[in-house]
Chain A
Amino acid sequence: MAITSKPLPAARVLEPPLARATTARGNPSQPPGWVGWAFLAPNLLGVLAFTLVPLLSVVGLSLTSWNLVSGLSGIEFVGLQNFVDLFVDPGFWNATLRTVLYAGISVPLTVVGGLGLALALNRDVPGRAVLRVIFFLPYIVTVVAIGMVWLMLLNPSAGVVNQLLGAFGLQDLPGWFASSHWALPALIIIAIWSGVGYASMIYLSALTDAPTQLYEAAQVDGAGAWTRFRTITWPSLVPTTVFLLVTLFIGASQGFGLIALITAGGPGDATTVVSYYMYQNGFQFYRFGYAAAIGMATFAGVLALTVLTWRAQRGRTLHD
């Protein structure tokens, strides 16, 4: 495979793509601004109409006390009272801490696992097409099935996992969902397990042909596998990694389907993460104003994290 026949991908690796996206502005060969607006318009109008409008009302709701059943006329403006209450609510802070643990452990491991899986599935392995579907299954299968299977796998006395651990001679086997110390780790394991298929699929779709051709060229040049990965594959995957980190953090801060199904936040409040705490306040206690305030607080936290991720990757690509 002659590398000279395709000069473009090489140039692309040398010049970091993200940096280029930002410098593209002011380029004389760029079309006039209205073209950009025209391309953006269909999506923008839809997002404005169907998401942003209801969303602004959430912001408003966070300044009120409302229980839904009292109707729109029952909405009472309380100013920042919800946020004051939130600040001194130990339930909220405990839930925040658990969310940080849950997301902080599960998201990076999911991304790393997804990348490894994608690289493996990108090779010529037997039954590759079927394997891809299998690893993506946890993302498709109904959450009920996932919950029930894991409950059985992690049963403290008769589950497969503890039987294996016992066979290795471990004493004091984890109580998993029957223990307030092990319930959150169990959920983290499930989150990683069900997320890697998703991450690997996104990675696979981003592994286009360009790096592979460079790969072969580099192989001819005698570059090691790690060097090849670091200099050729990775730079082209940075935007995708950012996408995955951001979406998985958002997912981890919002997701509670599995929690509602398996632990309902328990035992005690051991698995009450922020999203579930919000669910309890909104859908169980009907404190919609307070739930909206929790949502806004989560929003602030995740936004800060997103901006940080953004800055970090920008710095990295510029120095490359």
Chain B
Amino acid sequence: MTSSAGAPSVAPELAPDGDASSPPRRRRSSAWFLLLPGALWLVAFFLTPMVQLVATSLYDPSGSEETGYAMTWAWGNYVDALDFYLEPFVRGFAYSAIATALCLVIGYPLAYAIAFKAGRWKNLMLVLVIAPFFTSFLVRTLAWKLILSDNGFVVGIAKTLGLIADDGRLLATGFAVVAGLTYNFLPFMVLPLYVSLEKIDHRLIEAAGDLYSSPAQGFRKVTLPLSMPGVVAGTLLTFIPSAGDFINAQLLGDTTTQMIGNVIESRFEVGDYPAAAALSVTLMVLIVAMVAIYIRRAGTEELL
């Protein structure tokens, strides 16, 4: 309230429209001020590297670290990159799409069970989902080399069952890469699914039953639509990092299963920075475009 005793007649709140500027303006500027840390963060750690990345992708490809790179707006870098590396691009997206679908198929029932059926085991089960994160990503992936090894029991059983040929293998195949991706990114699918399933009001599902819908119908018409935010968030959190992953393909794949992440890594290693940057930018643009289309199609912009 106004503290000044000399102005009792018109409190600012009651002032006519045009006079209401002062307090809201202060509020507005403080809002800007509050944005500052976030904005500085974004400028320092997002915008600056982004500009650098885009700039690098347009450097003259004939440059090198020794002679320096000149900025020549070499859009041809993008053409070359796509021309030469279309296959790993397509393969990378295909692998991560399959892995995402598998994560959804495996993760949905798991999240559903944790949210609705786990009872007092709920917290324990959640911890178990997150537990693998307590060890390093690399170690977990290397563990799959042991599990799928050519003389291991998994391959032995698969051979006995005739699932793979006698001279066949699981390790160093596309199968192993997709399995590794699925395993490594599964928690990113389960957790958002769990959160949105957990929030569902049980009375809605009961009401569906009261209105003579079968459990399956109730699931399709009530539970599933209400869990869509989790599905969308989970698929994005799985697809986006796995599309750029290179560890799984490097450790579990062979020479024919390289994903685009491997190519970017290798271009970077040989010091071909313009191509590495052009591929990274292309990957980012493609992912953003796919995600935008996906969110449009899923009609869930407001759910995020």
B partners with A? no
Residues of A within 8 A of B (CB): none
Residues of B within 8 A of A (CB): none
